[in-house]
Structure 1
Amino acid sequence: FRGYPLQTLTRANLAWLGVALTSVPFAAVHLKNPNVSPVFTFINTTLAGVWLAVAYLRTRSLWFPLGIHWSWNWAQASLLGLPVSGINNLAPAPLLHSMNAGPAWLTGGAYGIEGGAACSVALVISTVVIWRLKLIARADVPTNECQKPAR
């Protein structure tokens, strides 16, 4: 439900409005999940919405944000055996059986890592890396225009 409005507002040169108008509802929808911690859940899911929107803006393709969103959820559930957005047991036989160890404000507690401060930091860093990384070329810009001229 986020791709069309973000793409449309981006084409209208209102990309950052599109980021805000799609990230906040994305976060609001997650507030109905089990084991929610309202403050961190809303903040982190809004940050995740920004992270995914920046992935789209950087590549102008929905494949990259879809891939990182799927990978994020898969890693938590199928690889680590952790809750995904408060939902437990999404993977019946995860590769590892991890557990959150530490205070809930840091680890997310029963909601999973998406509900803690560690996730906030990871999302901010990841968003900046995706935006700044030159290895991911925007699909709508020829490769030679993405590179800075040599000095």
Structure 2
Amino acid sequence: MSLWNTRAVRWVEDQYTQAHFEPTRRVWPAGVRLAVMVVLFVLVTGLAAGTRSVAGDNPVLSLLSGAVSVLIALTVYAAAVRFLEQRPVTELDLADAGSVLRVGTAAGLGLFAATIALIALFGGYGTEGGVSVGGALTVLGIMAGVAVVEELLFRGIIFRLVEELTGTRGAMVISGVLFGGLHLVNSGATVWGALAIAVEAGLMLGAVYAATRSLWMPIGLHFGWNYALSGIFGVTVSGNEDQPTGLLHGVLSGPEAITGGGFGPEASIFAILVCTVPTVVFLRIAKRRGRLYTRQQLRSAGTASAS
């Protein structure tokens, strides 16, 4: 391995694992950290959207765009945590990132496969045309960037810092509602679809983070779900009607309660039911591990660590 590559590896480890990190200044208050980091990630989100727009439907450019978005988002998040919070970025520990991402991605793929199977069982899903490998690769790049950027923003920043102010349950509700509200900006958005996203995804991903205290699992789940939805089964993602078609060209027909209508399967009652199962499971795991915190517990822990 060259000297440059050795230094590059050490730099990455310093950014995300930071085994020898030593605080050099006081930690900013949670409300200030929340505001600053949200502003930073609004800029990161805009940059990621810009790179996706430039890439268009080109598979190679889309994969490059996704990789760039992932790298920028992870670097900005790690740098912000180091500066504002004066601590190691333990929620992005690289030691188990690969295995956890694989498990999360497989779980996300499985959850959506179960959802679309239930919709198909009631006659709501079919396909037309052939398959598109290029489309599947294009969506792969898009969804990698989306999963990382959105999870860093909503679980890494909003959930985690709101939790300091309200406790775990308040953080789950607030981050879930905001996550659902984000999807109202999509071209085919509906209020019901946004509420469904808040419940099935916002609460589920919040529960996963609460139980694991790692961002890799929610990133994997988010990516696997979105990629199965658009990259494999070729249906509308969260009312985004301009999304490129993936491997298959899916067609939904029938009652909106079953298919989700123009918003896509995420507004289906089946999506809510399927995602409720892991939400309950992970909340029980979080409770068993003692990771459902009250505001008082977090304040006491912060006071003790500062003394």
Shorter-normalised TM-score: what interval?
A: 0.7 to 0.9
Identity rate of aligned residues, in percent?
A: 30
- Is 1:15 paired with 2:168? yes
The normalised TM-score by structure 2 is 0.40
Q: Aligned letter for 1:111?
A: F
**Which residues of 2 match residues 135-146 of structure 1 at below 5 A?**
none
Alpha-carbon separation, structure 2, partners of 1:32 and 1:8: 24
Partner residue of 1:130 out of 282, 299, 304: 282
Counterpart amino acid of 1:42?
A: A
8 Å CA contact 1:77–1:89 kept in 2: the answer is: no
Over the aligned positions, Cα root-mean-square deviation in angstroms equals 2.5
Please name the residue that 1:69 is paired with: 222
1:30 is aligned, of 167, 183, 203, to 183
C-alpha contact (below 8 Å) 2:177/2:195 kept by paired residues:
no
Work out whether residues 188 and 241 of structure 2, in 8 Å CA contact, stay in contact via their aligned partners in 1.
no
Residue type matched to 2:241 in 1? Answer: N
Q: Paired residue for 1:114?
A: 266
Aligned match of 2:203? 50
Identify if the C-alpha distance between structure 1 residues 126 and 91 changes in structure 2 by more than 3 Å, giving closer, same or farther: farther
The amino acid across from 1:131 in the alignment is: L
Report runs of 4+ in structure 1 exceeding 6 Å deviation: none
Name the CA distance, whole Å, in 1 between partners of 2:242 and 2:250: 12
Gaps of 5+ in 1: 141-151
Hey, what does 2:233 align to over in structure 1? 80
Alpha-carbon spacing, 1:89–1:28, altered in 2? closer, same or farther (3 Å): closer
Normalising by structure 1, we get a TM-score of 0.76
Counterpart amino acid of residue 21 in structure 1: I
* Cα separation, 2, equivalents of 1:132 and 1:99: 37
Counterparts of 1:100 and 1:122, CA distance in 2: 18
Matched to 2:231, the amino acid is S
- Structure with higher helix content: 2
Deviation, structure 1 residue 71 = 1.0
Larger Rg: 2
How much has 1:28 moved relative to structure 2?
1.1
Task: Please give the per-residue CA displacement for 1:6-28, whole angstroms capped at 9, x wherever unaligned.
Answer: 22344567011111121111111
d(CA) in 2 for partners of 1:132, 1:36: 32
C-alpha separation in 1, matches of 2:158 and 2:241: 31
Once residues 6 and 64 of structure 1 are traced to their aligned partners in structure 2, the CA distance between those partners, rounded to angstroms, is 15
Q: 1:81 to 1:57 in 2, by over 3 A?
A: same
1:98-113 equivalent positions in 2, closer than 5 A: 98-113=250-265
Work out whether residues 78 and 90 of structure 1, in 8 Å CA contact, stay in contact via their aligned partners in 2.
Answer: no
The Cα shift of 1:129 comes to 3.1
Deviation at 1:33, TM superposition (A): 1.2
